[in-house]
Structure 1
Amino acid sequence: MAETLTSQTPYDGVTVLRLNRPERLNAINETMLGELRDACAGLRADPSVRAVVLTGAGRGFCSGIDMRDFGPGMLAADDPAIDRLRFQEAMAALPLAIENLPQPVIAAVNGPCVGGGLALCLAADIRIASSAATFGNAAILLGLSGAEMGMSYHLPRIVGTSVAADWMLTGRTVDAQEADRRGLVSRLVAPEQLLDTAIETARAIAQLAPLGVQMTKRALQTNTDAASLPAAMELENRNQVLTHATDEAAGRRRNWEG
């Protein structure tokens, strides 16, 4: 049994992965670091899982790294630079693990989403927020770079360069309404509706053809950085040819045609 995560399957094909350190606003400690990495590896290898909901227990989504009680692996500023680099790379591997899942990931942001928590949220494919959610890039307030764990890559692509610079250079807290207005989230819902909305979205995706869904996710990720429209279309065209030839696509076409 995991100490810092819970996993549920409310519907076939849907996994709800919940960060579970509510007394610390689900801050990432050494145990969670390992358990979240292992959970992503398990999901990646499980073809029965077709969509994932990532959320937090209690009143927070994730408050970032646990600065007060991370565990024995926490390094000091005077530790060798190579060791501190390895630590940073281990943290940065978490959003990579989420982004690299073949299944679409829906972040259900239920409360404070800060630092490393924001990085996890940005790595998701879809972000749905409670009206009680808040977002912040707090590293710069601690004298560190505000660019960490993929944030300088993801955030400008989602909200634009100027807005990303505003948030990352000031470290200010962004409320759910501003996050919605700037396009950080796709939907803003009442707190009591958040999890149901995220699960229903995941359930709708899970009912679709897995290959079509996964090819769509890959195309979105790849073509965000496509060099040109023709380059993006090359990938799209090949994906369509591959998915068109599957038995599942043929069956769905027959149902569609009546």
Structure 2
Amino acid sequence: MLQDPVLVDQTNPRVAVIRLNRPARLNAFDDAAVDAFFAALDRIGASDASAVIVTGEGRGFCAGFDLGAADETRGDAVETAAHWTGRQEHFAGLVTRLRALRQPVIAAVNGPACGAGLGLALGCDLRICSDKAKFNAAFIKVGMTSCDIGVSYLLPRAIGTSRAFEMMLTGRMVGAEEACRIGLVHLATTPEGLMPAALELAETIAENGRLNTWLTKRGMWANLEAGSLAAAIELENRSQILMQGTGNLERVARQRGFL
């Protein structure tokens, strides 16, 4: 019997968990897994969850693109190119969909995050890992480029251009200790401590409210692309005025005895 390539656990109403579920392939993405991941994001995006955790079943987080589908062709060269263009754009859309999700997303990287798996981790808002995790820009090792699924945009913003160039041009593996040291993740823990740490982080986020958390996530991503400090502050000002109009500030001030 075929197993679901992506599992969603919403037993905690505030924290949804997405678990990639192709452990025999180190959770590499094929077309069905990508479709299932999009469906999971749609389901969670429409829910009342305040935070999301993405992790992998078994030994891997995500080994990237499943190379078992690498020889697919569709008729002549033009048809094949069109097929691969559509597939590439669909796969890469995972990252922009994660970014558009209202809830902050935590990557709990339990094992190898390679190629598109690295891109998936970078597409999350926060990253923690176990000491079994390792990361690389894998496609340069198999005759493709390391510019894939948002990595060339997101990696230098996470760790700086020099380190990003080195990772992307060599394709070497970066272990958990180094990933933490260079800022690719902000915490490395034991395999047993990974999910408790992710859940604790998610619950801390959930304490802050849904709308202000969403606007904070959205503002952070938008201001990473801001053309100037003035433009960034303009967005911040509008977000603050919008939140002030909800009455949250006055309610909290009264609860704490300031009003």
TM > 0.5:
yes
1:149-182 per-residue CA deviation (whole Å, 9 max, x = no partner) reads 1110000111111110000011111111111111
SS of residue matched to 2:225: coil
For 2:241, the equivalent position in structure 1 comes to 241
Q: 1:249 to 1:6 in 2, by over 3 A?
A: farther
For 1:5, the equivalent position in structure 2 comes to 6
Give me the whole-angstrom Cα distance separating, in 1, the residues matched to 2:131 and 2:44. Answer: 29
What is the one-letter code of the residue matched to 1:122? L
For 1:151, the equivalent position in structure 2 comes to 151
Q: How many residues are aligned here?
A: 255
Please report how far the alpha carbon of residue 122 of structure 1 lies from its aligned counterpart in structure 2 after TM superposition. 0.2
Give me the whole-angstrom Cα distance separating, in 1, the residues matched to 2:38 and 2:10. Answer: 19
1:134 has 2:160 as partner: no
What is the one-letter code of the residue matched to 1:157? R
Q: 1:27 to 1:118 in 2, by over 3 A?
A: same
1:214-234 per-residue CA deviation (whole Å, 9 max, x = no partner) reads 111011101112111111111
For 1:192, the equivalent position in structure 2 comes to 192
1:255 has 2:255 as partner: yes
1:185-229 per-residue CA deviation (whole Å, 9 max, x = no partner) reads 111111111001001111111121111101110111011121111
Please report how far the alpha carbon of residue 20 of structure 1 lies from its aligned counterpart in structure 2 after TM superposition. 0.8
Please report how far the alpha carbon of residue 256 of structure 1 lies from its aligned counterpart in structure 2 after TM superposition. 2.6
Structure 2 unmatched ranges of 5 or more: none
1:111-165 per-residue CA deviation (whole Å, 9 max, x = no partner) reads 1000111111000000011111100111001111110111100001111111100
Give me the whole-angstrom Cα distance separating, in 2, the residues matched to 1:41 and 1:11. Answer: 18
Please report how far the alpha carbon of residue 75 of structure 1 lies from its aligned counterpart in structure 2 after TM superposition. 4.0
For 1:23, the equivalent position in structure 2 comes to 24
Give me the whole-angstrom Cα distance separating, in 2, the residues matched to 1:34 and 1:210. Answer: 27
Q: 1:49 to 1:75 in 2, by over 3 A?
A: farther
Give me the whole-angstrom Cα distance separating, in 2, the residues matched to 1:54 and 1:249. Answer: 32
For 2:120, the equivalent position in structure 1 comes to 120
What is the one-letter code of the residue matched to 2:238? R
What is the one-letter code of the residue matched to 1:13? R
What TM-score do the two structures reach when normalised by structure 1? 0.93
SS of residue matched to 1:52: strand
What TM-score do the two structures reach when normalised by structure 2? 0.93
For 1:180, the equivalent position in structure 2 comes to 180
Please report how far the alpha carbon of residue 74 of structure 1 lies from its aligned counterpart in structure 2 after TM superposition. 4.0
Give me the whole-angstrom Cα distance separating, in 1, the residues matched to 2:129 and 2:86. Answer: 32
